[in-house]
Amino acid sequence: MKPTLAEFIGTFWLVLGGCGSAVLACNFPGAGIGFVGVSLAFGLTLLTMAYAIGPISGCHINPAVSLGLWAAGRFPAGKLAPYIIAQVLGGIAAGGVLYIIASGAAGFDVTKGFASNGYGEHSPGGYSLQAALVIEIIMTAFFILIILAATEKRVPAGFAPVAIGLSLTLIHLISIPVTNTSVNPARSTGVALFVGDWAVSQLWLFWAAPLVGALVGVVAYKVIKTDQE
């Protein structure tokens, strides 16, 4: 139970820290952190949790990562469902806490997005479904490839969280304008359920694309990987 609880806690922190920065601090008058700040927040939440719970659960905190590690032969199938359930519940719990905090401000309107992922008219830059699908698959594929490569035995111990955290920051810098960046179905679900309506109806893409992207990333890693572990 401890690894699954760690996944719940880690995903909670990722969603609260990353989405919280977008909802509470991104556009704060006179001191908003903008896209760059939000990107750093997501990277830092992952980096800090990788050191905190990595030795306990591996710090997947993302169903796409768990699927990718399973497909790469690094994670047992029997743990896949418990991990994903814990991740989704952690994301929803964080969304609930963030909703309580954000609704404490006058004029708060959850229908404005609440850091939800979207395409078409709900994309920050008005990008199409096709654009959203392509970028989510590609960004997730590279994320998984980096995770697999950075956690090889021949990589110096202790440096993997830095590479992985920075990769998530870069992914957000690239794709926030397109989809608000998911690459993580638990992150998307955690806030979409509180928005309802369009956020839930578009949620399918932010499950399908990251999961497909994870498998693409595994294939790419196996193609370039050497046998020297």
Residue 125 and residue 168 in contact, taking contact as beta carbons nearer than 8 Å:
no
For the cut 80, the answer to whether the pLDDT of residue 229 exceeds it is: no
Residue 153 and residue 195 in contact, taking contact as beta carbons nearer than 8 Å:
no
Looking at the domain assignment, is residue 198 inside a domain?
yes
Q: Identify the band that residue 190 occupies on the pLDDT scale cut at 50, 70 and 90.
A: very high
- What gap in Å lies between CA 130 and CA 45, rounded to an integer? 29
For the cut 90, the answer to whether the pLDDT of residue 179 exceeds it is: yes
Q: What is the pLDDT of residues 135-165, one digit of tens each?
A: 999 999 999 999 999 998 887 778 899 999 9
Q: What is the pLDDT of residues 215-226, one digit of tens each?
A: 999 999 999 987
Q: Which domain holds residue 72?
A: 2-224
Looking at the domain assignment, is residue 87 inside a domain?
yes
Q: Identify the band that residue 31 occupies on the pLDDT scale cut at 50, 70 and 90.
A: confident
For the cut 90, the answer to whether the pLDDT of residue 195 exceeds it is: yes
* 70-74 average pLDDT score: 95
Element (H, E) at 160: helix 160-179
Mean pLDDT of all residues belonging to the chain = 94
Kindly compute the dihedral angle of the four CA atoms of residues 35, 37, 43, 44, in this order, to the nearest 10 degrees. Answer: -160
Looking at the domain assignment, is residue 229 inside a domain?
no
Looking at the domain assignment, is residue 25 inside a domain?
yes
Looking at the structure of the chain, the number of domains it has is 1
SS (H, E, C) 45-108: HHHHHHHHHHHHHCCCCCHHHHHHHHHCCCCCHHHHHHHHHHHHHHHHHHHHHHHHHHCCCCCC
For the cut 60, the answer to whether the pLDDT of residue 87 exceeds it is: yes
Looking at the domain assignment, is residue 54 inside a domain?
yes
Percent of the chain with pLDDT over 90: 87
Q: What is the pLDDT of residues 93-120, one digit of tens each?
A: 999 999 999 999 988 989 888 999 999 9
For the cut 90, the answer to whether the pLDDT of residue 26 exceeds it is: no
Which distant-in-sequence residues (6+ apart) come within 8 Å of 219 by Cβ?
none
Looking at the domain assignment, is residue 77 inside a domain?
yes
Q: Identify the band that residue 228 occupies on the pLDDT scale cut at 50, 70 and 90.
A: low
Q: 193: domain CATH number?
A: 1.20.1080.10
- Token readout for 109 is 């309107």
Residue 184 and residue 210 in contact, taking contact as beta carbons nearer than 8 Å:
yes
Looking at the domain assignment, is residue 140 inside a domain?
yes
